[in-house]
Amino acid sequence: MAKVIDFQTDPSRYRHWRVDYDGAVANLFMDVDEDGGLFDGYQLKLNSYDLGVDIELADVVQRMRFEHPEVKVVVMRSAKDKVFCAGANIRMLGGADHAHKVNFCKFTNETRNTFENAEADSGQKYIAAIKGACAGGGYELALACNHIMLTDDSTSSVSLPEVPLLAVLPGTGGLTRVTDKRKVRRDLADVFCTLEEGIKGQKAVKWRLVDEVFPNSKFDDMVAARAREFADASTKATGTGIRLTPLAKTVGDDGTLHYSLVEVAVDRKGRKATITLSGPDGDAPGSPEALHAAGDQGYMLRLARELDDAILHLRLNEMELGLLVFRTQGDPEALLAHEAFLLEHTNDWLANEILAYWKRLLKRIDVTSRSMVALVEHGSCFAGVLAEVLWSVDRSYMMEDEFEGDNRPIAAITLSPANFGPFPMGNGLSRLETRFLGEPEAVGALKTRIGEALDATDAEEAGLVTEIFDDIDWEDEIRIFMEERASFSPDAMTGMEANLRFAGPETMETRIFGRLTAWQNWIFNRPNATGTDGALQRYGSGVRGDYNQQRV
């Protein structure tokens, strides 16, 4: 049986990272345990990483937001001598199956995006302080920081050597951040990405690969001074953090997941997982003090944490469940009350963080490579932020009129201000703006219906759901859809869905998750990279990969 990957951890269990907190500045040290790989068969030498290292980093970044809101600047550095980070572990990549490699790259992307966007979302600025070799995924860690500082000596350099050494792309955003974020000139980027040894010193500044370079004798002092300078200039709202406690989660023998607000039912024969989200089990907080007192047990944060964990579990541990079915049950008015409180108190650091977490979570759903459908049933609470799920999935079906023997409230969808800006997709547009790309006037019309419980007929006429079915047709139509979806090629579905979801303008984020990930997905299947004589398999042997020279 394959190892079950657990995305939950805490500082007492870290093997690869440590954090020194000093008021407004936190020093985040990468100190990878060579023998702490997630799987057997490789050592994590030279601060190289696998999914286990990145799971810890994601936890560090999340706790920095919720447990340490006093932190305004995070300095990412290495605890190893003469190496910042060697990137993703090559032995791990060479031995991992294709699906794991691709999902590893996706999770790594999402973690990078989380701390890259921490300044805009939370006022936490990340500095990369590079001493030693900073290669491949190591440089991508630095690229996702807001400011990069490099020491000027004979061993310190930045590089993206995947093309010449491994026959793959810098697949977790490296190419895109070099061109779109650092705005490195195209020809210089071409040179940079084909140099095994990378770029050092002032040349790295001139090419915009780093922001500053200092001699070794001044480096630590300048990093500390820059961190203090950024912290002093910050206007970040601060306060006393809350503790993120372990999730209340059980896994059944059949793979079902049980949380306090989320249930995941598994149907292996039908190759689907049904995710049911519950509405509030308590009243909305009456004040910011009440929100803080609830800590991580407040409804909106608890639901986000549980759904996030469920999505990650399904991605990495249940790869043959090709269809995710989203359901909700609960009181939509109660849900909207919880949401309205957060939207009214965005100047409170915790309320702001919970909303920012939902933004990240919805984006994670957007880029999950499974067929996804939402069922708007009687008794559902697809309102406000949960209504966003309806426009993240590929199709949505809604119950029309009363169903015999069903005394739940009639199915309805309720829009709120949250559906018109606070939770943008990776393309920079709201999900409604993306949905109605060809008729933007529809979004304006929907704004006039905020707070109105839209029944099936209204929702269909407004374009908010795919189809509506009455009591006679519901069961058969849903069954036929699910059976048909399960019969299609998973590869064809993944390609089709990912392309359809990324409508509208292209951004750095859509390029990373759309174009770049698609190319890396293909390259990871090619024998030039992963075949017996491919570069990933021959790495470290002293023999170059034997390439099929046909251009495809």
- 136 vs 542, which has greater pLDDT? 136
Q: Which of 164-168, 313-317, 418-422, 435-439 has the lowest mean pLDDT?
A: 164-168
Q: Which of 103-107, 215-219, 372-376 has the lowest mean pLDDT?
A: 103-107
Which 8-state DSSP code applies to residue 1?
-
Query: How confident is the prediction for the chain on average, in pLDDT?
Result: 95
Which 8-state DSSP code applies to residue 376?
E
The pLDDT, as a whole number, for residue 167 is: 87
The pLDDT, as a whole number, for residue 548 is: 85
Q: Percent of the chain scored above 70 by pLDDT?
A: 100
Assess contact for 171 and 105: CB atoms under 8 A.
Answer: yes
Under the banding of pLDDT at 50, 70 and 90, the label for residue 366 is very high
The pLDDT, as a whole number, for residue 270 is: 95
Q: Which residue ranges make up each domain of the chain?
A: 11-233, 250-494, 497-538
Q: Token pair 């009687």 is at which residue? A: 378
Residue-level length of the chain:
552
Q: Which of 371-375, 475-479, 521-525 has the lowest mean pLDDT?
A: 521-525
- Identify the burial level of 238 via C-beta atoms within 10 angstroms of its C-beta, where 0-12 means exposed, 13-18 middle and 19 or more buried: middle
CA distance 211 to 320: 44
CATH number (3.80.10.10, 3.90.226.10, 3.40.309.10, 3.40.50.150) of 11-233 reads 3.90.226.10
> Among 98, 228, 85, 92, which Cα is nearest to 158's?
85
The domains spanning 11-233 and 250-494 adopt the same CATH topology: yes
Residue 516 has pLDDT above 80, yes or no: no
Which two structure tokens, joined as six digits, stand for 529? 């990279």
The pLDDT, as a whole number, for residue 517 is: 73
The pLDDT, as a whole number, for residue 298 is: 98
- The arithmetic mean of pLDDT across residues 452-481, rounded, is 98
Which pLDDT tens digit goes with each residue over 176-186? 999 999 999 99
- The arithmetic mean of pLDDT across residues 149-157, rounded, is 95
Assess contact for 158 and 130: CB atoms under 8 A.
Answer: yes
The pLDDT, as a whole number, for residue 285 is: 97
The pLDDT, as a whole number, for residue 498 is: 85
The pLDDT, as a whole number, for residue 1 is: 45
Under the banding of pLDDT at 50, 70 and 90, the label for residue 480 is very high
Q: Provide Rg for the chain, Cα atoms.
A: 24
Residue 531 has pLDDT above 80, yes or no: yes
- 169 vs 382, which has greater pLDDT? 382
Sheet holding 413-414, edge to edge: 382-383, 413-414, 453-454
- The arithmetic mean of pLDDT across residues 275-299, rounded, is 97
The pLDDT, as a whole number, for residue 363 is: 97
> What is the SS3 string spanning 166-178?
HCCCCCCCHHHHH
Which two structure tokens, joined as six digits, stand for 176? 């895109």
The pLDDT, as a whole number, for residue 94 is: 86
- The arithmetic mean of pLDDT across residues 298-303, rounded, is 98
- The arithmetic mean of pLDDT across residues 444-454, rounded, is 97
**Superfamily, domain 250-494:** 2-enoyl-CoA Hydratase; Chain A, domain 1 (3.90.226.10)
The pLDDT, as a whole number, for residue 116 is: 96
